């Protein structure tokens, strides 16, 4: 399977640089995963495609202001740090620019000394382990000094940090937002629950690997990055009960999808627990519990395009993307959304 099979030509001007004022007013492309038929709607119309007994699965991770700007203590040379994952207490795995200035033993000062750090090791992919030193509460200092780690394709400054958070963000730990969830408002979620749709929360802390390109020609040679997930007992029960009763399990975002597919056994039962997942979903994968997906429009040749192609078929996805480009949809993190379902319009009836 060649990575070039997942290429499409995207005009630069379609990459959304700013979030819309009203989260739920983004556009929604509805894709029938079996026929490839496409319908154009507005995101708040998503309620028309949900039914009582369905279960909507959301990822309640919270993005931390993980980008820090500091300077070497001895030379005052500027250094940029991106927090990737907490290894233990005050030791974090980080991405450092420029890396050549961050050898083990290097001391870095942030915010006039409010926070300092010492590089203690170089690990996989050239990432650095850094031990932080400070007085007070780390999260409060980070909130004061850090910036949101926006993807590299967004060049505009974000005016409001909360616009790169979902309205249900709870558990801190992500280096990137689960962006399909950015379209939901609290009012829209309340309306969905009032319809008799269950909303189940899972957590997957999104890593920077989300934005890393596939660097191999053969898709099967690609090694997925590792991300931490948690599934609570009560939330697993909601999802399993909905499935057992004939409801559909519809994930909000590829991160929710990867979480429940990682935690579901071959028997189709979602198991509560936590751990690290490196699940790589590409065409040929058989979904164990997911029925539908709400997702944004992804980068060409990315693992995320491969995931949605596994659900709806590569030809249907590429056709839908060409339709979205023709209709001037907005792409990527702050862009528009897609709903992938079997028979979303309810036209094919049994009997």
Q: Tell me: the pLDDT tens digits for 312-331? A: 999 999 999 999 999 999 99
pLDDT tens by residue, 164-207: 999 999 999 998 999 999 999 999 999 999 999 999 999 999 98
Q: How far apart are CA 286 and CA 289, in angstroms?
A: 9
Question: Mean pLDDT across the stretch 19-36?
Answer: 97
Which percentage of the chain shows pLDDT scores above 70? 98
Question: Mean pLDDT across the stretch 272-285?
Answer: 96
Are the CB atoms for 132 and 92 separated by under 8 Å? yes
Does the structure show a pLDDT above 60 at 350? no
Are the CB atoms for 321 and 336 separated by under 8 Å? no
Are the CB atoms for 206 and 238 separated by under 8 Å? no
Prediction pTM value? 0.90
pLDDT-derived band of residue 210, with 50, 70 and 90 as boundaries? low
pLDDT tens by residue, 295-317: 999 999 999 999 999 999 999 99
Does the structure show a pLDDT above 80 at 208? no
Q: How far apart are CA 136 and CA 115, in angstroms?
A: 10
Instruction: Go through the chain and tell me how many residues it has.
Output: 351
pLDDT of residue 211: 64
pLDDT-derived band of residue 135, with 50, 70 and 90 as boundaries? very high
Of 10-14, 101-105, 135-139, 338-342, the range with the lowest mean pLDDT is 101-105
Question: Mean pLDDT across the stretch 324-348?
Answer: 94
pLDDT of residue 99: 84
pLDDT tens by residue, 78-111: 999 999 888 888 999 998 988 887 899 999 999 9
Are the CB atoms for 332 and 16 separated by under 8 Å? yes
pLDDT of residue 17: 95
Place of tokens 């060649």: 2
Does the structure show a pLDDT above 70 at 150? yes
Are the CB atoms for 25 and 42 separated by under 8 Å? yes
Are the CB atoms for 177 and 39 separated by under 8 Å? no
Coil, strand or helix: which one is 298? coil
Q: Could you give the angle at the alpha carbon of 207 between the alpha carbons of 313 and 332, nearest 5°?
A: 50
pLDDT of residue 19: 94
pLDDT tens by residue, 6-24: 999 999 999 999 999 999 9
Distance from the first to the final alpha carbon of the chain: 38
The 10 Å Cβ neighbour count of residue 40 is: 14
pLDDT of residue 171: 95
pLDDT of residue 351: 39
Question: Which residues are bridge partners to 70 per DSSP?
Answer: 79, 110
């Amino acid at each position: 399977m060649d990575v070039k099979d997942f290429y499409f030509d995207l005009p630069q001007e379609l990459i959304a640089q700013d979030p819309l004022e009203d989260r739920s007013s983004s556009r929604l492309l509805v894709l029938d995963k079996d026929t490839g038929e496409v319908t154009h709607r507005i995101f708040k119309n998503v309620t028309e495609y949900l039914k009582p007994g369905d279960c909507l699965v959301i990822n309640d991770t919270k993005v931390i202001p993980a980008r820090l700007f500091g300077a070497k203590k001895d030379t005052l040379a500027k250094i940029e740090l991106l927090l990737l994952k907490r290894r233990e207490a005050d030791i974090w795995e980080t991405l450092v620019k420029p890396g050549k200035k961050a050898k083990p033993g290097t001391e870095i000062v942030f915010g006039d000394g409010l926070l300092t750090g010492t590089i203690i090791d170089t690990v996989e992919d050239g990432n650095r382990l850094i031990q932080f030193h400070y007085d007070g509460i780390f999260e409060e200092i980070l909130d004061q000094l850090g910036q949101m780690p926006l993807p590299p394709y967004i060049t505009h400054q974000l005016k409001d940090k909360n616009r790169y958070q979902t309205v249900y963000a709870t558990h801190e730990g992500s280096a990137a937002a689960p962006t399909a969830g950015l379209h939901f408002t609290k009012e829209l979620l309340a309306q969905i629950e009032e319809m008799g749709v269950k909303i189940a929360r899972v957590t997957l802390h999104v890593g920077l690997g989300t934005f890393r390109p596939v660097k191999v020609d053969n898709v099967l040679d690609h090694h997925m990055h590792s991300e931490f997930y948690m599934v609570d007992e009560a939330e697993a029960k909601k999802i399993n009960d909905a499935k057992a009763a004939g409801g559909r399990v519809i994930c909000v975002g590829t991160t929710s999808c990867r979480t429940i597919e990682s935690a579901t056994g071959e028997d189709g039962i979602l198991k509560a627990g936590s751990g690290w997942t490196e699940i790589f979903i590409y065409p040929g994968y058989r979904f164990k519990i997911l029925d539908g997906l709400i997702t944004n429009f992804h980068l060409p040749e990315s693992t995320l395009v491969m995931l949605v192609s596994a659900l709806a078929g590569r030809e249907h996805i590429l056709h839908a993307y060409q339709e979205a480009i023709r209709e001037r949809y907005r792409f990527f993190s702050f862009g528009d959304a897609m709903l992938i379902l079997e028979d979303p319009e309810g036209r094919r009836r049994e009997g």
